[in-house]
Structure formats: C-alpha cells, structure tokens
DNA sequence: CGAACTGTTGGATGTTCGTCATACCGTCAG
DNA sequence: CTGACGGTATGACGAACATCCAACAGTTCG
C-alpha cells in the first residue's frame, strides 16, 4: 500500500531563504516547475531527462524535500514526488506561481 | 552630477535561476526586501546592519547587479542602489512581490 | 530462491561561494 | 595639498555544494 515516508519539515518552520536556495539550481527549478501542475510524479519518469547520475537525482529530490517543497510517497518500489502546493501558497503567497511561470531561458 | 555606472545585463537575457541564486542568500534577500519599496537607497545607509565587512557588502551588491536585480547610480562619492522593479515584473511576474511579502523567519 | 528494478547511502572530488583583510582609488572638506 | 570618507579590487581560506561511482537495500516476479 502507499505509505507516507521521508519526513518533511513543518511548513511554518520553513524560511523563505531556504526555499530559494533549494530552487536556485537549474535541475531543481525544473523539477519544481514540472511538479507545479499539482499532480504527483514518479521519480523514475522520463520527465527528468537531465544528464545526471541516479544518485544526483536522489540528492536533488532530498534537497527539495528537506527544504519543505515536496512530499514523497513510497509505493512498493516506486517513489512518487509531489509539490506541497497548498501549504507553500499559504506560507509564501504567489511564490510557486512566479516560479512556474518563469521562462527557462 | 549623477551618472549611471556599473553595467547591468539586459533583462531579457536574465535567467530565472540566476535571479533565484542571487536571492538565495540571507543578506541579499533582505537587501532586495528593503529595496522592494521602490525607492533608491544609499549603500552606506544604516539600513544594512548585517555584521559583515565592507567588502562583503560590495560583493553582495555586485552579485545582485550582475544578476540583473538592481541598478547602481554614482553621485559623487556615494553610491545609490535601486531595484529594477518594473523590468523584473515584466520578465518574472509576481516574483518580487512574493519575495517582498516573504516572512523573514 | 535469485535476478531485475528502483532507488538510497557513503565516500571522493572539483568547484563555487561567503567572508575577511589589506591595499587601492575617486571625492569632498579644511 | 592633505586627510577623511565611501567604495572597489584582489587574494586567501574554509564551508557548502553538485556530481560521480560503487555498494547496498527493499520490492516484484519468474
């Protein structure tokens, strides 16, 4: 069954500067932009076509989660990642929208 | 007289991730939040009460300018810094507002 | 069981970054 | 002119970071 795994910080304890630092990386920014559709995404999906190693992606996913941006659900051997959109909107109004709208170039 | 100094990048060539990286620092974030009132601020003002060295502030100001966030005007021996609010709003709608609203803690 | 699949963990490494200290430069006042 | 003021430039140093590699662990399936 699907069980919540990987502890996430309480949104009230998340500092804006930490969120910004988490997002201030090309790969992590694109992850957040992809996740901004509100739907959960599998970690192994083909969406993530960066040319980096498996463990590097693990590192980025963990950074995002520890910064309070995402939540991970483990189902069997597949991990699903999801943006904490509602919570983030409450704490940092307009931020995610601004990031998602952002032009890549 | 007041002359524009210190070249700034064209706003169209500024990448979101670079803006985020510039702002992903406690000191620079607070500078931007202070500058978000739209008014120019002198670099030597008492607003900047971080306990860091002079040259460190120069480094942060330069980082913000090179990232396309600010513009510097030199008047005599005092330098005035200003947020490129309108341009940033056009390129990254809602971003500055989201940063300025952001709770410090 | 054993093998493939999906990810994590623990180094190791090269780079970037924030900070300081010192020296330097243009500007204004006496 | 000479000194104080406002900033910049350069160099050094330690910490943080992105990346890779190899090894490991839980899950599913034959």
Q: Which pLDDT tens digit goes with each residue over B30-83?
A: 999 999 999 999 998 778 889 999 999 999 999 999 999 999 999 999 999 999
CA distance B101 to chain A (A): 7
Q: What total of structural domains would you count in chain B? A: 1
CB pairs < 8 Å spanning A and B: 67
* Closest nt by CA–C1' to B72: D7
Looking at residue B104, its pLDDT comes to 54
* Contact check, Cβ <8 Å, A94/B101: yes
- Which residues from B are below 8 Å from A29, CB to CB? 16-17, 20
- Which residues from B are below 8 Å from A15, CB to CB? 104-105
Mean pLDDT of B16-25: 98
The two three-digit tokens of residue A95, written as one number: 């931020």
* B22 pLDDT tier (thresholds 50, 70, 90): very high
Chain A residue with CA closest to B89: the answer is A98
Looking at residue A45, its pLDDT comes to 74
* B103 pLDDT tier (thresholds 50, 70, 90): low
Residue with tokens 């790969």: A27
Distances (CA, A) of B41 to A77, B33, B46, B63, B73: 54, 12, 10, 17, 10
Q: Which nucleotides of C are covered by protein (CB under 7 A)?
A: 5-11, 17-23, 26-28
Helical packing angle, B16-23 and A16-23, nearest 10°: 140
For chain A, which ranges sit under pLDDT 70?
1-4, 102-105
What secondary structure letter does DSSP report for B50?
-
The CATH number given to whatever domain includes residue B44 is: 1.10.10.10
Of the residues A11, A24, A64, the best mutation for testing chain B's interface (the one with the most B CB atoms within 10 Å of its CB) is A24
Please report residues contacting nucleic strand C, using a CB cutoff of 7 A: A 6, 42-44, 54-55, 57-59, 61-62, 72, 77-79; B 21, 24-28, 51-56, 59-60, 63, 75-77
* B4 pLDDT tier (thresholds 50, 70, 90): low
Parent domain of A23: 2-101
Looking at residue A102, its pLDDT comes to 67
Nearest-by-Cβ selection for B26 from A17, A99, A103: A17
Residue A58 contacts by C-beta under 8 Å, 6 or more apart in sequence? none
């Amino acid at each position: 069954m699907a069980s919540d795994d990987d502890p996430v910080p309480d949104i009230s304890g998340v500092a804006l500067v930490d969120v910004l630092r988490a997002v201030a990386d090309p790969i992590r920014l694109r992850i957040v932009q992809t996740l901004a559709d509100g739907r959960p995404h599998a970690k192994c999906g083909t969406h993530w076509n960066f040319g980096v190693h498996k463990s590097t992606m693990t590192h980025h996913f963990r950074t995002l989660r520890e910064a309070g941006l995402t939540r991970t659900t483990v189902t069997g051997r597949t991990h699903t990642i999801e943006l904490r959109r509602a919570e983030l909107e409450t704490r940092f109004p307009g931020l995610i929208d601004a990031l998602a709208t952002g032009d890549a170039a």
